[in-house]
């Protein structure tokens, strides 16, 4: 028996008895960090005052994209089931005119935080370096620091205006994948869709702070696609 053949048999025996490197197992904590883009599929109801269109015949609004740092954590209940939580630095969105306000440009802005919790399923064996997953859960979005522009204030013939956006609760779904480069470190990419709708109210004031007009509450559908690429760390 040749020396080379003996070494080959020994190596095969060692590999047979050595435990496979585990990707994800029950009890693991997984942290993912990277760039997150929120791309709203925005639309709104017509903006009315006392049931009649405000400013123009069909005034509506839209919401633009924004990218921030995202941090996500998962806890593995089993090697195939996990609970995921999405967090991020606050997203900032411009609120632009739409409908017959399409040429008006920026009418306001807001910041929001979209914490999301999902139940995740990982179909691959825990020894696989490639770990796709899918999840479904609940999104809670809170809006803050709402502001309006002089464009909106002037259009309403007011001295100042105020924008209020109600918080939102809705379903969220995700698909993603990790590719583990080592026992603890890997790459990640993921996509979510979240049902985010908010009821908005615009109030116009005169110079003394008296209310000149207040819009009826109108629904703004944001319903964004959310994209993330980054790194994975397991411990």
Beta-strand pair 218-221/43-44:
antiparallel
Instruction: With a cut of 60, say whether residue 4 has pLDDT above it.
Output: no
145-172 pLDDT per residue, tens: 999 999 999 988 899 999 999 999 999 9
pTM value? 0.81
Rounded mean pLDDT of 216-233?
Answer: 95
Rounded mean pLDDT of 200-205?
Answer: 96
Phi, psi of 163 (to 5 degrees): -120, 130
Rounded mean pLDDT of 124-152?
Answer: 95
List Cβ neighbours of 175 (8 Å cut-off, separation of 6 or more): 132, 133, 134, 135, 190, 191
Instruction: With a cut of 70, say whether residue 15 has pLDDT above it.
Output: no
Longest CA pairwise span in the chain (Å): 100
- Collapsing DSSP to helix, strand or coil, 56 comes out as coil
Radius of gyration of the chain (CA): 25
Cβ atoms of residues 161 and 180 within 8 Å: no
DSSP characters over 84-100: EEEEESPEEEEEEEEET
Looking at the DSSP bridge assignments, the partners of residue 226 are: 38, 192
CATH code linked to domain 23-234: 2.40.160.20
Q: What's the pLDDT score for residue 19?
A: 42
> What is d(CA 174, CA 227) in angstroms, rounded to the nearest whole number?
10
> What is d(CA 219, CA 204) in angstroms, rounded to the nearest whole number?
19
94-103 pLDDT per residue, tens: 999 999 999 9
53-108 pLDDT per residue, tens: 888 889 999 999 999 999 999 999 999 999 999 988 899 999 999 999 999 899 99
- Collapsing DSSP to helix, strand or coil, 8 comes out as helix
């Amino acid at each position: 028996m040749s020396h080379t053949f003996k070494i080959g048999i020994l190596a095969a025996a060692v590999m047979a008895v050595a435990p496979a490197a585990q990707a994800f197992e029950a009890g693991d904590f997984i942290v993912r960090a990277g760039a997150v883009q929120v791309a709203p599929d925005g639309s709104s109801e017509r903006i009315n005052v006392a049931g009649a269109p405000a400013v123009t015949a069909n005034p509506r609004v839209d919401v633009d994209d924004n990218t921030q740092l995202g941090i996500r954590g998962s806890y593995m209940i089993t090697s195939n089931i996990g609970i995921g939580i999405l967090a991020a630095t606050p997203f900032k969105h411009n609120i632009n005119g739409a409908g017959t306000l399409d040429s008006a440009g920026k009418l306001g802005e807001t910041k929001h935080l979209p914490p999301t919790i999902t139940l995740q399923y990982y179909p691959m064996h825990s020894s696989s370096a490639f770990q796709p997953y899918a999840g479904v859960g609940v999104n809670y979005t809170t809006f803050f620091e709402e502001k309006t522009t002089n464009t909106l204030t002037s259009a309403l013939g007011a001295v100042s205006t105020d924008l209020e956006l109600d918080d939102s609760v809705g379903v969220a779904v995700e698909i993603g994948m990790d590719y583990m480069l080592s026992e603890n470190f890997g790459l990640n990419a993921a996509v979510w869709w979240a049902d985010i709708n908010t009821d908005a109210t615009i109030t116009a004031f005169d110079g003394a702070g008296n209310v000149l007009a207040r819009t009826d509450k109108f629904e703004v559908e944001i319903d964004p696609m959310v994209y993330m690429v980054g790194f994975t760390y397991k411990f």
